[in-house]
Amino acid sequence: MDRVGTGIEGLDDMLGGGLPRGHVVAVMGSFGTGKTTFGLQFLQQGLKDGEKGIFISLEEDQESILANALSYGWDLRRYIDERRLAVLKLEPTDAKNSIGRIRSELPELLRSFGATRIVLDSVSLLNMLYDSDHEKRINLFNLIQMFKGIGATCLMTAEVQDSNPNASRDGLIEYAVDGVIGLRYEEHPEVGEIKLTVRVMKMRRIEHSRRVKPYSITSHGIEVHSAADAF
């Protein structure tokens, strides 16, 4: 399959060259594991390669997102000025208005902008806009089909359950997407250290490493140490 580089070299090694083009992939982890950074790095790689991208946020506003990216050396503002990057902010505290924007603005934005990479941060907050599990499932399925309909490669960040770091908060996203990448931090009190690890838990239609590998969040973004063992 045609691959899309994530911008995270060691992870692309684990994936045999990158994400399959057109896949919708969940990046799951608890707070502090770098999910938003992962999404920004994925977009930055595409923009650097001449692609267009859309960042849909339910957490930070545009200026916060741009400042976050700049802290890693990624100047995303220039791509907004060049109309190669769009940032859409949804308010989880205003469910009615946000749901309306998803149904009215988002389909037109996706069709007209021509993005080949999309990041949704986070799908867990998006699901909180809906009252019932049935509504969550239907709207999640419709959103994924919308992304697939334009042929874009999409990342959705998702929070995990406190009791089970291998499952998303509502237990829905991992069954609906094409791939799941799990980010975790492991506490090692005996050495006073927290280690970050990544695992490709699922990726349809391609062979990929299932090994648990260590990664770091540096001043240049996420670096996966694919040649090292996590433990």
Q: Which residues partner with 218 through β-bridges?
A: 221
Helical axes 35-48 vs 62-70, angle rounded to 10°: 80
pLDDT value of residue 193: 76
C-alpha to C-alpha distances, 146 to 107, 130, 163, 167, nearest whole angstrom? 7, 18, 32, 24
CATH superfamily of 3-224: P-loop containing nucleotide triphosphate hydrolases (3.40.50.300)
Nearest-5° angle of CA 206, CA 212, CA 214? 120
Q: Which residues partner with 180 through β-bridges?
A: 26, 202
Nearest-5° angle of CA 77, CA 98, CA 29? 70
- Per-residue pLDDT tens digits of the chain, which is 231 residues long: 899 999 998 999 999 999 999 999 999 999 999 999 999 999 999 999 999 999 999 999 999 999 999 999 999 999 999 999 999 999 988 888 999 999 888 999 988 999 999 999 999 999 999 999 999 999 999 999 999 999 999 999 999 999 999 999 999 999 999 999 999 998 776 666 789 999 999 999 999 999 999 999 999 999 999 888 765
- Return d(Cα 55, Cα 23) in angstroms, integer: 16
pLDDT value of residue 191: 63
pLDDT value of residue 190: 67
Backbone angles phi, psi at 221, to 5 degrees: 110, -160
Query: Is this model's pTM higher than 0.85 or not?
Result: yes
Is the distance from CB of 8 to CB of 194 less than 8 angstroms? no
For every residue of 110-171, DSSP letters joined together read HHHH--SEEEEE-HHHHHTTSSSHHHHHHHHHHHHHHHHHHT-EEEEEE-B-SS-TTSBSSS
